[in-house]
Amino acid sequence: MTVVLVHGNPEADAIWGPLVGALGRTDVVRLSPPGFGAPMPDDFSATYLAYRDWLEGELAGIGEPVDLVGHDWGGGHVVNVVMHRPELVRSWVSDILGCFDPDYVWHDMAQVWQTPGEGEQHVDAFLGGTAEDRAAMWAAAGMPPDIAASVAAAQGPEMGRAILLLYRSARQPGMAEVGRELDKAAARPGLSILATEDGYVGSEAMRRRAAERAGARTEVLEGLGHWWMLQDPARGAAALTRFWEGLD
């Protein structure tokens, strides 16, 4: 069974490297969303629905249901796909389910990106400078230096444009409205990764409520944060493997 990994913002597929190594599998595919490590066509609208449709096209091309795993906005794309085209997956995993809860409030940086003018200024500064400068910033934030360099190389004006379009398409109450359909995700077995120190994706209560509505199990990664797959890839791989083995 093919495993498909989808990363989020403002990242590249290099963030999955340690986890792929810990999984010890050869049937893993890493997909980069347009603008986030992959070219973004001029006519690509970069809304959350456009990314859903992009991912559905990629999965249809694989030709069989997959075990789909998403991190950050990649996790949002995963949930949106499963609610719309569940036949494309055997199972799904997301670490962003709390964002679909009706009480979720976007984090401070997202709210800046959603604000015309302020958002443009922020992404210019955030993704500006040299790749070396950005790599140093991400390494200081906790990324291994080689992964930080890969992420920094993927960043630039195109990613900035994608960030603004994506986050503005998902202003509240937009995400809450999408979340009204969360029960549709129960059409396929799901797993919610709950990294306890991740402050971007809603409270623990929100994440648990959303997982229950989506019919998903919850796997708690105590003490890990937003980049759980980098902080403790062995623990992340073990959680995923337990979930998949339980499907057989």
Give the Cα separation of 161 and 205 in Å (integer).
Answer: 33
Q: Is residue 145 part of a domain?
A: no
Angle at 127 between CA 47 and CA 112, to 5 degrees: 55
Q: Is residue 162 part of a domain?
A: no
Q: Is residue 225 part of a domain?
A: yes
pLDDT (tens digit, 9 = 90+) per residue, 185-238? 999 999 999 999 999 999 999 999 999 999 999 999 999 999 999 999 999 999
Q: Is the pTM of this model over 0.95?
A: yes
Residue 35, phi-psi category: left (phi > 0), alpha (psi -120 to 50), beta (remainder): left
Q: Is residue 133 part of a domain?
A: no
Residue 65 clears pLDDT 80, i.e. is over it = yes
- Quote the domain boundaries for residue 58: 3-104+174-245
Q: Are 155 and 127 in contact (CB under 8 A)?
A: yes
pLDDT (tens digit, 9 = 90+) per residue, 16-56? 999 999 999 999 999 999 999 999 999 999 999 999 999 99
Q: Is residue 161 part of a domain?
A: no
Q: Based on the structure, what is the number of domains in the chain?
A: 1
Q: Are 104 and 206 in contact (CB under 8 A)?
A: yes
Residue 52, phi-psi category: left (phi > 0), alpha (psi -120 to 50), beta (remainder): alpha
Q: Is residue 201 part of a domain?
A: yes
Give the Cα separation of 223 and 60 in Å (integer).
Answer: 36
pLDDT (tens digit, 9 = 90+) per residue, 79-117? 999 999 999 999 999 999 999 999 999 999 999 999 999
Q: Is residue 151 part of a domain?
A: no
Q: Is residue 154 part of a domain?
A: no
CATH number of domain containing 33 = 3.40.50.1820
Q: Quick one: pLDDT at residue 248? A: 72
Q: Give the contacts of 122 (CB within 8 A, at least 6 positions apart).
A: 109, 112, 113
